[in-house]
Amino acid sequence: MKIVDARDRDCPAPVLMAREAVETETPHTFCVIVNNDAARQNVCRFLKSMGYAVKEETRNEDVHITGVRSESAQDEKEALPAQITQPSGEEPGQRRIMVMITTDRMGYGDDTLGQKLMINYIRTAGEFGADLWRLVFVNNGVKLAIETSEVVDTLQQYEAQGVTILVCGTCLEHYELTARKRVGETTNMLDIVTAMHLADKVIVL
């Protein structure tokens, strides 16, 4: 069985290593070893998107993620996580707007004012309508996706309406917030860069 040791590798290396194994060898069964939760979530999601049945086994501080390729999986499927691939079923003329939120406040000066402005922005972002495609949270912005956030309910409503919400796994790990995330998919830099490439417009806050 092919073994991919991705322990102690920063995002997005674990997913890139798994993707390389799929692209170069297309193994029927292989195992990716990681030792942080963000990498675990990203690798599991990637393998599932590629048609692998996934099994996780924790051994001490390591997680062994075993993927078994389904007989019905498409051999030529693009090796990218499912949530960042080209969307289907869009209305004619519909744009894909991606908003990257890098902080939990807007602007500089008064932090309390900045936090209020960011909350108001997120609650108003629905005015983009069907064009709102991705909300991506990185760095301090991931704090808006956790249990105590004033906009977590709003984000959950957007997600239910079909907006994809991506939350940086490395950032969650850095702030020790992984277990407190309440909305969105834990993501990595490969997902974010690809989403930026596919978007018609990117807004960075």
Contact status, residue 69 vs residue 28, Cβ threshold 8 Å: yes
Per-residue pLDDT of 116-132, as tens digits, reads 999 999 999 999 999 99
Enumerate the H helices of 33-186 as residue ranges: 37-49, 111-124, 152-160, 169-174
The ranges of the chain annotated as CATH 3.40.1260.10 are 97-204
Lowest mean pLDDT among 17-31, 60-74, 104-118, 145-159: 60-74
20 vs 79: CA distance, rounded Å = 9
Domain 2-79, CATH: 3.30.110.40
> If you average pLDDT over residues 7-28, what whole number do you get?
86
Between CA 168 and CA 141, with CA 166 as vertex, the angle to 5 degrees is 55
Both tokens assigned to 75: 């051999």
Residue 91 has what pLDDT?
Answer: 60
Mean pLDDT, the chain, whole residue set: 87
Using one digit for the tens of pLDDT, what is the confidence trace for 60-94? Answer: 889 999 999 876 544 444 444 444 454 545 565 67
List the CATH code of the domain at 97-204: 3.40.1260.10
